Structure 1
Amino acid sequence: MTRLSGSRRPVIFGEVLFDLFSDGTAVLGGAPFNVAWHLQGLGLSPLFISRVGQDKLGDRILQAMDEWTMDTSAVFQDPDHPTGRVQVSLQDGQPSFDIVQDVAYDHIEAAMVRRLYANSAYAMLYHGSLIYRMPTSAQSLSLLRQMTPSIFVDINLRAPWWSKEKIDELLQGINWLKLNETELQTLTGGSIDENQLIEQSARAILEKYNLQALIVTRGAEGAMLMTAGKSLNVAPVEVNRLVDTVGAGDGFSAIWLAGLLRGWSYELTLQRAVEFSAAICQLRGAVSQDKEFYHYYHYHWML
């Protein structure tokens, strides 16, 4: 396992947005924001870097972060672009998502990043792939990656906001990568019907990008970890009361980061990430506003 240096405070870079439903409901989210929320609940004080508009939705985000005692110093307000949003609609009973382009989080400026790092050094950076879709935030992300020694990427292949060329750029020089079975199949063109073929595809990605570890989440099948020396499969944790699976992957990522920060073994981290993501499936939505929910894991895992 890579030894972390510098501040053990994690940096989370990327989108924060609202899912807007046709009935007027607005749900706060965005994968990086969800990860940062979990880490704050677990007592790990992330530095969340993003951008919101100077509008009512942006104000709601900053208020929610304040109420959760999150650090808002790296969430900048943009006078020219609106807060990120996703228009959610139902078509034949199935949800479809329009991730609105050219919003505030697409314009996180490099000068902002430089100021944040001027007097601090951070050991670990987490980001996804959506934030790489437009030049300004992509350039800032590239700068962050140059300044942070350890990088964990959780890709999320949302059409039309990705290409194999961009993903190939994004996966160069990183330490850890998380994806799900479908994303693994998409990147390799392989079948996901058999465990052996999943392992072959995972090994190909691990070696192509010289990763320290590749994590494949498998839903009801648990999760798989691949390193240069071994592969490990962890069985799923039984969910007694399934509410929804929204944000389960973000919960998994948060625990993977926690394990890296606290020096847990890969095996233990994988087991706990599967356990926590199962707990998220028993909530409505991607995160909890109940501090006791997080206190349980903070106490039992000695975070």
Structure 2
Amino acid sequence: MTEPRYDVIAIGNAIVDVMAACQDELIEELGLSKGGMTLVDSARAQELYDAMGPAREISGGSAANTLAGLSALGAQCAFIGQVAADQLGEVFAHDIRAVGIDFDTPPRDREPPTARCLIFVTPDAQRTMNTFLGASQYLPPVALDAEAVAAAKVLYLEGYLWDPEEPRAAMRRAIEAARAAGRKVAFTLSEVFVIERHGDDFRALIEDGLIDILFANHLELAALTGESDFEAGIAALSPKVPVLVVTRSAEGAVAVAGGARAEVPAEPIDKVVDTTGAGDLFAAGFLYGHVNGEPLERCLRRGAIAACEIISHYGARPEADLRALMAEKLG
């Protein structure tokens, strides 16, 4: 096996978060569901974008957020995801490269435009999100860089992107490339509704031994296993994957690997500001420890520390120096 070029390569939705402050009156005027998340089409996305005041634009997406955390910790990372040849596509590419992540997927030169999540923030700090998935859903298998996949210690896949046909085929090819190169495959279940739609696929991947590291929260664990009891879900799933990582929000996290189990509490925090990206950054901390051969409990601690940093502010990208934070907390 050749020496890996990357610690982690990820495939996921390439989304730009567009965030702007507004008054409650604008929420009502636009007919938005305050505090919720709604999927919107291209025309509605443009209407909402035009109605926004001065906005902050930063690349997002679940797997890309995880890579941003990994890169901040010092890992070498690459991202595969689809943008369009438009302004927000350039924003996404700039932002992800600016934090040291390789991103070489060619942009699409036709509709639909780059995915965006339009976020209206009212004075009470409520975030009203409107997501247009756009070009991110059209990642073709031919865009997959199999050599880059083979050159990473871990291939990290985002469950959200399993829904559309093209990226699902690309991810299956990526799993084949990683397996052929003797690399590990990590998978995040993303959300209960994804399991409701594709649970049979995920269970088949697990049964076939194609997933080495599986990330879930307690709700996703129940949806995947059919077990409402947390310990029963762990018992049902842990023998089937080499590393199982399950988060429990304020109750901390559990990991089981090779029969060994570790558990950590959530990191103490004065005030939770925004939980967006908490799971993404937990995965970043855990994976950083994992690719560096650290013990299971220390990997979990890294995940908890990274997640705590994210929920202390708005946005799904770290603002504090994660390496310094880890050094302070872990010694």
TM-score when scaled to structure 1? 0.82
Question: CA separation in 2, counterparts of 1:249 and 1:132?
Answer: 18
Which of the numbers 187, 203, 216 marks the counterpart of 1:168?
203
Question: CA separation in 2, counterparts of 1:112 and 1:132?
Answer: 16
Shifted more, 7-16 versus 20-29: the winner is 20-29
Contact 1:4 1:261 in 2 (8 A): no
Does residue 217 of structure 2 align to residue 180 of structure 1?
Answer: yes
Shift of 1:41: 1.5
Does residue 294 of structure 2 align to residue 294 of structure 1?
Answer: no
Correspondence for 1:152: 186
Contact 1:129 1:167 in 2 (8 A): no
RMSD (CA atoms): 3.0
Correspondence for 1:84: 115
Greater per-residue helix proportion: 2
Question: CA separation in 2, counterparts of 1:226 and 1:47?
Answer: 27
Contact 1:203 1:226 in 2 (8 A): no
Shift of 1:97: 5.6
SS at match of 2:16: strand
Correspondence for 1:279: 309
Cα distance, 1:242–1:188 mapped onto 2, change above 3 Å: same
What amino acid maps onto 1:294 in structure 2?
Answer: L
> Any stretches of 5+ residues in structure 2 without a counterpart?
20-47
Which of the numbers 101, 110, 117 marks the counterpart of 2:141?
110
* Count of aligned residue pairs for this structure pair: 286
Correspondence for 2:27: none
Cα distance, 1:120–1:180 mapped onto 2, change above 3 Å: closer
Shift of 1:55: 1.0
TM-score when scaled to structure 2? 0.76
SS at match of 1:54: coil
What amino acid maps onto 1:180 in structure 2?
Answer: N
Cα distance, 1:184–1:242 mapped onto 2, change above 3 Å: same
Cα distance, 1:163–1:97 mapped onto 2, change above 3 Å: farther
Correspondence for 2:250: 220
Which of the numbers 236, 241, 255 marks the counterpart of 1:204?
236
Which of the numbers 116, 122, 127 marks the counterpart of 2:157?
127
Shift of 1:201: 0.8
Contact 2:6 2:151 in 1 (8 A): no
Cα distance, 1:283–1:146 mapped onto 2, change above 3 Å: same
Cα distance, 1:216–1:119 mapped onto 2, change above 3 Å: closer
> Any stretches of 5+ residues in structure 1 without a counterpart?
192-196
